[in-house]
Amino acid sequence: MNVAASLPWLLAVLLALAVAMAWLRLALWRRRAPQDRRGSSTRFALLCLLQPMIALLLYFTLLPPRQPATTCTLVVMTAQADRVALPATLQGQPRVALPEAPAGLDAERVPDLGTALRRHPEAHALHVVGTGLEARDRDAVGDRDLAFSAAPMPTGIVQLAPVDVVVPGATFAVTGRVHGVPQATVVLRDPAGQRIAATVVDRQGGFRLDGLARLPGPSSFRVEVLDATRKLVDAATVPVWTQAAPAPRAWALAGAPNAEWKYLRRWATDAGIPLHLQVSLGGGLQLGDAPLPMTADTLRRFDLVLLDARSAAALGEGQRAALIAAMRDGLGVLVRTDGALAPGVQRMLGLSLAGNGEAEFQLPRPAPDDDAWRARRGAGTADAPVDADAVPAGLPTLTRQALRPASPDAIPLLRTADGTAIAWWRAEGRGRIGAWTPTDTYTLALAGHADTHATLWSQALGTLARSSPDATLTAPDDARVSQRVSPCGLADDAQVTAPDGTVTRVQRDPATGATRCGGYWPRAAGWHHLATDKTTAPFFVRAKDDAPHLHAAAVREQTQRLASRSRTAAAASAMEGPRGPAWPWFLGWLFAAGLLWWLERRRPIAA
């Protein structure tokens, strides 16, 4: 309890003690006074009665009773306020219109909510009408009660998840939600405008599209929403930042030479991945790179170890112990289950794989149709031309070991076209270990689908390889011109570089504490760079007219969240109004104190 809340109780206790002491003084005085000086019993009763009366009047003089709270509600008009019917209870209340509100409203125009509250200090509650409050105005609400009459949900893209930084050649997912478009089709186009993916939204309007990142640097993909007649309803830019990451250092131990290891090494060479490959021929003979001892020092030099069933079974107890210790320290391990796994390998994997024999499977098509597939594959290069006949022929049928995990912590790493998981991984300390059941992925490269072969192994190695510590610098997800963004994890030297080269230093807000957030107002659309002395984080700023429905839905959600948080706290404070005037209570106290003084001074007349 703070001082302001405890003051009435403290004052009441002090005055009660004063009354008790006054009564005690009067009783002792009457008892010790001579009979002729005591006065009448009526006088003594009046003296005792006036003590609590004076204390009560003094209490209300110092703390007058609170008056009933005034219920003045400020009506705040925002974008699309003309599409909302005002409740009858708001008739006669003051109205203000923010800059986003449509023209022609019967309301006072204000540049922001803070200005409106300074002009109307009597407003103890707010009623927002329309799309909602922009980021500029949300902090001005404070602890006031806030009600929200929302405009109808916009038609089009209302949710769009940001795409994380990807590496060249990796796939990325574009997820979101469409509202108000029955049987909508969502199309993903690459920076050249070619359609590379398409899907139909589910019952809730959700969608997921897969794109492919190529060259390092910024790129802008585009999501389009088509209705049942294939008419464009809405579109939004999907910014993607492709950044070359350090290639994982891989160590492959092959129990026997085969085509799978041959094409895996060829892919690693083309991708710039340093792969140390040792192929055992039996009898102590080996091919490939120079053999290395499996010790802790050796394993620290690599990010991923690749094994097959034979090489995993050939590991000694000391080698397995060193491998498990390295995994717990962050190393990734992938075991190709191209044969029966020994019990010791099963225990090391911790996936409890069961089953035997082989089975055929089909990988999912990378694109919904041939045209999108061709656009996704690209034109190739003179050194690595793209097979034009591979797309109509489709992906070849592959073979796998018919194994399944019995462990509940197994996470799917690869799925077939029908959704069946055929590769899994699990965490082991700070590292990861996986099981890979496909045995002939090299046939993808032979059939002209080297890009699909590369994508499979790129995702596998990227998932399992030792990861570097994540940067604490957090860039904003959905930035927009002239709208405040709040980057977090800022250092003292944090600064933002705009597309035109303008550098702005970002100050930390001390109120954000350990999150170390700040405020920045971008002035230009495009890619910005949030940088400190050690870390750089790119983020994209949308233009004002880019994806307006997406912005309207985000503002609507933020305002609804603000209204639900502020209603409880503001309702309690609205029950108490300001304190009333003290002078009537002071006059009453003055009169009672004078009467008490007169009765105390008056002496009985002797007979």
Residue 387: per-residue pLDDT = 67
pLDDT of residue 572: 40
Ranges of residues in the chain whose predicted pLDDT is under 70:
1-5, 36, 38, 67-71, 379-389, 468-473, 566-578, 603-607
User: Which amino acid is present at 228?
Assistant: A
In 3D space, the residue among 447, 478, 449 whose CA is nearest the CA of residue 551 turns out to be 478
Determine the pLDDT at residue 487.
87
For the entire predicted model, the pTM comes to 0.71
Contact 112, 98 (CB under 8 A): yes
Residue 372's pLDDT is 81
- Return the pLDDT at 594: 87
**Each residue's pLDDT tens digit, 306-327:** 999 999 988 888 998 999 999 9
Q: Which pLDDT value is given to residue 600?
A: 78
pLDDT at residue number 388: 64
**Residue 79 to residue 93: CA distance in whole angstroms:** 19
CA distance 555 to 94: 23
Evaluate whether 16 touches 38 at the Cβ level (below 8 Å).
Answer: no
What pLDDT score was predicted for residue 472?
A: 57
Q: Give 339's Cβ-side CA count (13 Å radius).
A: 12
Q: What angle do CA 389, 395, 400 make, to 5 degrees?
A: 150
For residue 228, count other CB atoms closer than 10 A to its CB. Answer: 10
pLDDT of residue 270: 87
Instruction: List all residues 6 or more positions away from 457 whose beta carbon is below 8 Å from its beta carbon.
Output: 264, 267, 268, 441
Q: What is the pLDDT of residue 123?
A: 86
- CA 248 vs. chain centroid, Å, equals 29
User: What's the pLDDT at 573?
Assistant: 42
Which residue type, as a one-letter code, is found at position 169? G
Return the pLDDT at 607: 39
